[in-house]
Copies of this chain bind each other. A is one copy, B any other.
């Protein structure tokens, strides 16, 4: 990890801005909204706000700010997510039982920690501290995305189906260009993060891989294309599915992507802006790995590996910074390119790169211990905070997960 600009004032400004964005995301949500937990994998909004604060308190302030007083010593038990080395913690599936602390106390907790962080950043220009703070900010950005996906899941579980923000007037439907193909020849490619600027530990070490020639679609699969799969009985043909995927789809009676609802012969979709009709030109979203793989089988294609994805993206010059809208709650219509508005499932299981070593200490639990039973997603989504995306970024979820803004693109040999 070596962030670009490590000057104390730059870091302090970044800290203020990212912390403020979390509060802005939570602002439209009532105390009641911020309390609910709709499944074990999701967390209440106020828990996200407190947990990200606990991260700074535990890993930055306690070891680095002499005389720092914990806001409440009981919060360690409540807001530790999964760091075994830091001690026991409240069970994840029961976060929705915690009415206390309420949102006012959590706002005070955030203010307390922000004041202390300001004091620390004023007084300490150690690059190691800057790296640690950067990690905390990247961590908070990850939770900004989860805050959105988790409240979406909770809202969708309510018969009232509340929305987060009113819908913008819809853009007129666009005629989606046919899928194009990027062809890459057999050869050795360099993948992974080169250590310049921030990255998570799981993105390195950079290394070379030998890829067989392949073709990669120039954009993710669209709703319109996915509808054709549904209409061709894609959800009723076991031969298209992985065995575990078929079992999962039967158990949960999947008939379409999550949040889709069949109204007679049409489909509508629940979004953070309320219900709306399906738009054919948007990327299909909220599908599991299983559905992505079944679609690819149906289409006579396959999903790309994460290295194919990365190599093609590098060839296309896709690591240039892009100016994303600050707050998106739904994917925009598709265009070509590698950082669209949906995370893209890849065919790669989430494994360590050659020579990978986790961080020392409790932070070593950040990524490494999850390297099993999950698949890598590449790219970003509409819910990803602008600037958080990175060409080497490895997101990861279990193949059955659907509550993230997850889509996919096709590959072929």
Contacts and interface: CB of A to CB of B under 8 A. Distances in A.
The number of times this chain is found in the oligomer is 4
22 contacts: A30-B31, A31-B31, A31-B35, A32-B32, A36-B96, A36-B97, A37-B96, A74-B159, A74-B160, A90-B159, A97-B157, A99-B155, A100-B162, A209-B210, A212-B354, A212-B355, A242-B369, A242-B370, A243-B369, A243-B372, A293-B372, A354-B413
Interface stretch (A59-67, A77-85, A109-117, A320-328): A77-85
Given A159-B74, A349-B351, A369 B35 contact: no
Contacts of A98: 36, 158, 160
Majority-rule SS of A interface residues? mixed
A244 B373 contact: yes
Nearest to A94: B157
A356 to B, nearest CB: 9
A46 B36 CA distance: 13
Interface in A211-251: 212, 214, 238-239, 241-246
A340 interface: no
Contacts of A354: 212, 214, 413
Contact of A371 (B94, B158, B238, B242): B242
Interface residues on A, range: 35 or more
Interface in A1-52: 30-38, 46
Contacts of A365: 239
B84 A238 contact: yes
Contacts of A242: 369-372
A35 to B, nearest CB: 5
Contact of A158 (B82, B84, B97): B97
A35 B371 CA distance: 36
Contacts of A244: 370, 372-373
A169 B413 CA distance: 56
Nearest to A151: B99
